[in-house]
């Protein structure tokens, strides 16, 4: 991209005790960069249920950016669920639990050098 850009990070949490998914989304690390009036691109590793992403989307919308778009490497196909538009996506996934390259299950498998699908669902 031959445009002026700034990279910032947020951290959201939604995992409960024992690695179970659930509970309220909480923002652990808020963005430091100014959002108002700027073009914002959310970059995600995986969009699964989209609950955390919807939380972040609503948070950023309240900051009144000029535009707001989503980019994700992996997007879970869920025809029964209304999702936010992922305008830039790498791969569409079916069912299965992915681990590796930062994706984890109960904080394990995160450091695998690639992305793998577990043979058995957790």
Residue numbers annotated as active site:
48
d(CA 36, CA 25): 23
User: Which of 39, 58, 38, 56 shows the shortest CA–CA distance to 47?
Assistant: 56
Smallest CA-to-CA distance from 45 within 120, 110, 122 is with 110
Residues 6 or more apart whose CB falls under 8 angstroms from that of 106 comprise 18, 19, 122
């Amino acid at each position: 991209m031959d445009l002026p850009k700034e990279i910032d990070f947020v951290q959201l949490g939604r995992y409960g005790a024992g690695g179970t998914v659930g509970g309220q989304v909480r923002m652990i690390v808020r963005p430091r960069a100014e959002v108002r009036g700027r073009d914002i691109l959310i970059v995600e590793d995986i969009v699964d249920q989209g609950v955390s992403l919807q939380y972040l989307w609503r948070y950023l919308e309240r900051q009144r950016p000029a535009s707001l778009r989503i980019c994700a490497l992996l997007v879970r196909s869920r025809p029964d669920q209304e999702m936010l538009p992922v305008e830039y996506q790498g791969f569409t996934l079916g069912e299965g639990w992915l681990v590796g390259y930062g994706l984890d299950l109960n904080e394990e498998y995160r450091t695998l050098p690639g992305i793998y699908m577990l043979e058995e669902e957790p």
